[in-house]
């Protein structure tokens, strides 16, 4: 076994030694790897000179696997063993399986980690394993091109990726033997590629139209940090839909009512070629077995206009969510192959009232931004003035009594971050506490996403509210969360690394955000109701405990008045009307106060027993 080498002191990190680091855009359709050489970021090609690696893996019966172009070519002939669009499944749970079943041709089986796994000739493959195969291919490409071992990579993820999806991405990198410097959100990477982090403070829009998905992100640059003001998107809108629109038109021209599967494939391929040609020409010649002819750009524009409109409606909604108008946007960055389409550029320019940034290849812009970050993070630019920071996309919090969520770290907090908050017990003698970690903007547990639960035990019995439980939320630079809870008098501690139950998708995330905007008022009322309920329950709890000990201090009439009031509040608690509960509670409060006063007199001033309390009426 080889011995590990240790350098002489002071020589190990020679100042000009360049460390190999890459940025990786792990895309739904295509993936890329980029690096900074001689101060310039560029993407790396394979031996055939191709930069884009189709995000497709094919598993063969002989135990080998193919990644990329060749695998993509086999997708129709060997669909079950050829995995495409795996990114849509990263960090997803079995709960999503039904929906996914209709969207994908694959057979799924639950894996041990609780994610769906693809059933292939090589056995079950989880989305993490498939992604790892894509990452390993890019790692090899980089090491071959750059001639050395990679010190680290920055991998991009969509802005709306939640903890589970980020963790799955990180797991895939680990499996591929790729040290992750950090995960970076795709729109932030695109903004960095254009150097917007070095420019004026303000709000930028990142318009990302790829093969199958559309994403819009509004980022605000403030003190060198990009905050995500809003995200929006459509998980089923992209260049593939442009292809479909052309294919449908072709079917009409060729009078093909029910094309066979092979005719369908030919139609889609011809459509895609024509579409891409129309980016540079005003007319594309299409040559099908059943039909030959021209597709004019004007005709193409008519076919896709409704799809472009759909994307712009999403932009409008995102602006509204962030309470902005298009005039507030400083720069618009174009990302994704489909933003090459002239009509898309034209409509985006019209919508935002400015020319979008398109000078960097929209396929490569995310990988290039990631490479620039990787170069800084690995230490190649010791004088780089500022490290670009990221923020958490959705607030993190804990469940408190009554199903309320107490936010511990609000969304858009810069990471890494540590926040400490103290909580206490609800009941006398409580010895354990259930810690429920949630993510989302809403006030009620049921409206947020459950990330993890654990129990802190060994709390010494004390009266309610006396125990001090210190809860620490820590989010590392990749947005991964760990939570610990410590009982302060004993030091008893429990903690959890949040590897959440899988199952939230991008629509859910944007829905959670949108709902939080829309239901702020309803939430405020719901919160008030819950708070009223908790206060009432606490009051009942306290009075009942007191009665168990000191009911003898009350005469019969006093006792029945008190019990009557308790009963009223108990019944009122079944109501969902806050004012009804409040009224019952306020009726009980003076009785309770008087009883408490009498108990105090009894306990502290025994000598004064028998003293008539005027409050008791
Ligand atoms: P993803 O983000 O989903 O991985 P990409 O950003 O790689 O996707 O974009 C792929 C889409 O871009 C495909 O639909 C492809 O046809 C389209 N595309 C690529 N080049 C062009 C072009 N020159 N003109 C129009 N569309 C293009
Ligand atoms: Mg993309």
Q: What is the mean pLDDT of residues 500-512?
A: 45
Q: Determine the Cα–Cα distance for residues 374 and 384; give it in Å rounded to an integer.
A: 12
Residue 272 Cβ contacting ligand 1 at under 6 Å: yes
Q: What pLDDT, on a 0 to 100 scale, did the predictor assign at position 382? A: 66
Quick check: is 298 in a domain?
A: yes
Q: How far is the CA of 86 from the centre of ligand 2 (A)?
A: 13
- Pair (528, 545) in one structural domain: yes
9 Cβ contact list (under 8 Å, min separation 6):
none
- Pair (476, 523) in one structural domain: no
103 Cβ contact list (under 8 Å, min separation 6):
88
Burial of 75: CB neighbours in 10 Å, binned 0-12, 13-18, 19+:
middle
- Pair (370, 398) in one structural domain: no
Residue 169 Cβ contacting ligand 1 at under 6 Å: no
What does the pLDDT look like over 434-473, one tens digit per residue?
889 888 888 888 888 888 888 888 888 888 888 888 999 9
Q: What pLDDT, on a 0 to 100 scale, did the predictor assign at position 387? A: 52
Quick check: is 464 in a domain?
A: yes
**Whose atoms come closest to the Cα of 243: which ligand?**
1
Q: Determine the Cα–Cα distance for residues 540 and 88; give it in Å rounded to an integer.
A: 50
Quick check: is 9 in a domain?
A: no
Task: Please tell me what DSSP assigns to residue 613.
Answer: P
Residue scoring higher pLDDT (377 or 315): 315
Q: Determine the Cα–Cα distance for residues 511 and 399; give it in Å rounded to an integer.
A: 21
- Pair (411, 434) in one structural domain: yes
Q: Determine the Cα–Cα distance for residues 509 and 347; give it in Å rounded to an integer.
A: 27
Domain that holds residue 357: 21-388
Protein residue with its CA nearest to atom 20 in ligand 1: 337
Using only C-alpha atoms, the chain has a radius of gyration, in whole angstroms, of 30
Tokens of 64: 């080998």
pTM of the predicted structure, to 2 decimals: 0.67
Q: How far is the CA of 179 from the centre of ligand 2 (A)?
A: 22
Q: What is the mean pLDDT of residues 161-187?
A: 88
Protein residue with its CA nearest to atom 26 in ligand 1: 338
Q: What is the mean pLDDT of residues 79-93?
A: 86
Q: What pLDDT, on a 0 to 100 scale, did the predictor assign at position 575? A: 82
- Pair (261, 239) in one structural domain: yes
- Pair (75, 92) in one structural domain: yes
Domain boundary among 478, 503, 528: 503
pLDDT at 515 over 80: no
Residue scoring higher pLDDT (474 or 107): 474
Ligand 1 atom closest to 279 (CA): 24
pLDDT at 506 over 80: no
pLDDT at 166 over 90: no
Q: Return the CATH number at 533.
A: 1.20.1270.10
Quick check: is 344 in a domain?
A: yes
Residue 158 Cβ contacting ligand 1 at under 6 Å: no
Q: What pLDDT, on a 0 to 100 scale, did the predictor assign at position 49? A: 95
Highest mean pLDDT among 74-88, 302-316, 506-520, 557-571: 302-316
Domain boundary among 503, 529, 559: 503
- Pair (80, 199) in one structural domain: yes
Residue 363 Cβ contacting ligand 1 at under 6 Å: yes
Domain count, the chain: 3
Quick check: is 4 in a domain?
A: no
Quick check: is 13 in a domain?
A: no
- Pair (360, 395) in one structural domain: no
What does the pLDDT look like over 322-374, one tens digit per residue?
889 999 999 999 999 999 999 999 999 999 999 999 999 999 999 999 999 99
- Pair (490, 358) in one structural domain: no
Highest mean pLDDT among 2-6, 107-111, 307-311: 307-311
Selected catalytic residue, list 129, 162, 171, 186: 186
- Pair (197, 288) in one structural domain: yes
What does the pLDDT look like over 577-600, one tens digit per residue?
888 898 999 899 888 888 888 887
Domain boundary among 368, 388, 408: 388
- Pair (325, 403) in one structural domain: no
Q: How far is the CA of 29 from the centre of ligand 1 (A)?
A: 8
Q: Determine the Cα–Cα distance for residues 366 and 356; give it in Å rounded to an integer.
A: 16
The mean of the pLDDT values for the chain is: 84
What does the pLDDT look like over 531-566, one tens digit per residue?
888 888 888 988 888 888 888 888 888 889 999 999
Residue 501's pLDDT band, with cuts at 50, 70 and 90, is very low
pLDDT at 83 over 60: yes
Q: What pLDDT, on a 0 to 100 scale, did the predictor assign at position 495? A: 80
Protein residue with its CA nearest to atom 10 in ligand 1: 211
Residue 213 Cβ contacting ligand 1 at under 6 Å: yes
Q: Return the CATH number at 307.
A: 3.30.420.40
Quick check: is 292 in a domain?
A: yes
Contact predicate 478/180, CB 8 Å:
yes
- Pair (399, 375) in one structural domain: no
Q: What pLDDT, on a 0 to 100 scale, did the predictor assign at position 500? A: 40
């Amino acid at each position: 076994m080889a011995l590990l080498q240790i350098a002489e002191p002071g020589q190990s990190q020679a100042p000009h030694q360049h460390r190999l680091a890459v940025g990786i855009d792990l895309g739904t359709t295509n993936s890329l790897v980029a690096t900074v050489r001689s101060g310039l970021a560029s993407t790396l090609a394979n031996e055939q000179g191709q930069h884009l690696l189709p995000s497709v893996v094919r598993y063969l019966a002989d135990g080998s696997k193919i990644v990329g172009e060749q695998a993509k070519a086999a997708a129709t002939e060997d669909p079950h063993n050829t995995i495409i669009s795996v990114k849509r499944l990263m960090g997803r749970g079995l709960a999503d399986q039904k929906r996914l079943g209709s969207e994908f041709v694959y057979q799924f089986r639950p894996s041990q980690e609780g994610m769906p796994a693809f059933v292939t000739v090589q056995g079950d493959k989880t989305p993490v394993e498939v992604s790892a195969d894509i990452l390993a291919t890019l790692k090899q490409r980089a090491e071959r091109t750059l001639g050395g071992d990679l010190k680290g990579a920055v991998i991009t993820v969509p802005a709306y990726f939640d903890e589970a999806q980020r963790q799955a991405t990180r797991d895939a990198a680990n499996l591929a033997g790729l040290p992750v410097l950090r995960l970076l959100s795709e729109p932030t990477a695109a903004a960095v590629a254009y150097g917007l982090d070095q420019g004026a403070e303000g709000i930028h829009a990142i318009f990302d139209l790829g093969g199958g998905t559309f994403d819009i992100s509004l980022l605000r640059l403030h003190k060198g940090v990009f905050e995500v003001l809003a995200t929006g998107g459509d998980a089923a809108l992209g260049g593939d839909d442009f292809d479909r629109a052309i294919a449908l038109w072709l079917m009409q021209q060729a009078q093909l009512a029910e094309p066979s599967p092979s005719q369908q494939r030919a139609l889609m391929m011809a459509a895609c070629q024509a579409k891409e040609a129309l980016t540079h020409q005003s007319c594309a010649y299409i040559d099908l077995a059943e039909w030959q002819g021209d597709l004019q750009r004007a005709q193409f524009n008519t076919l896709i206009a409704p799809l472009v409109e759909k994307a712009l409606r999403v932009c409008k909604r995102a602006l509204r969510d962030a309470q902005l108008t298009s005039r507030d946007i400083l720069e618009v960055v174009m990302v994704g192959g489909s933003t090459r389409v002239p009509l898309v550029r034209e409509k985006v320019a019209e919508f935002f009232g400015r020319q979008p940034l398109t000078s960097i290849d929209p396929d490569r812009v995310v990988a290039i931004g990631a490479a620039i970050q990787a170069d800084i993070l690995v230490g190649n630019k010791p004088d780089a003035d500022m490290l670009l920071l990221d923020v958490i996309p959705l607030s993190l919090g804990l469940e408190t009594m009554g199903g309320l969520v107490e936010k511990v770290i609000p969304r858009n907090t810069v990471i890494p971050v540590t926040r400490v908050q103290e909580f206490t017990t609800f009941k006398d003698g409580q010895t354990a506490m259930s810690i429920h970690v949630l993510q989302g903007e809403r006030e009620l547990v049921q409206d947020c996403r459950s990330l993890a639960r654990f129990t802190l035990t060994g709390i010494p019995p004390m009266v309610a509210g006396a125990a001090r439980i210190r809860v620490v939320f820590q989010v590392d630079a990749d947005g991964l969360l760990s939570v610990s809870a410590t009982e302060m008098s004993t030091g008893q501690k429990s903690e959890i690394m949040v590897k959440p139950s899988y199952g939230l998708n991008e629509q859910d995330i944007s829905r959670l955000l949108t709902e939080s905007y829309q239901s702020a008022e309803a939430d405020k009322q719901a919160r008030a109701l819950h708070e009223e309920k908790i206060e009432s329950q606490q009051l009942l709890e306290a009075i009942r405990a007191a009665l168990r000990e000191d009911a003898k201090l009350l005469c019969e009439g006093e006792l029945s008045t008190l019990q009557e009031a308790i009963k009223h509040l108990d019944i009122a608690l079944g109501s969902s009307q806050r004012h009804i509960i409040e009224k019952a509670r306020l009726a009980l409060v003076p009785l309770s106060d008087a009883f408490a006063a009498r108990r105090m007199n009894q306990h502290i001033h025994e000598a004064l027993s028998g003293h008539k309390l005027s409050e008791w009426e």
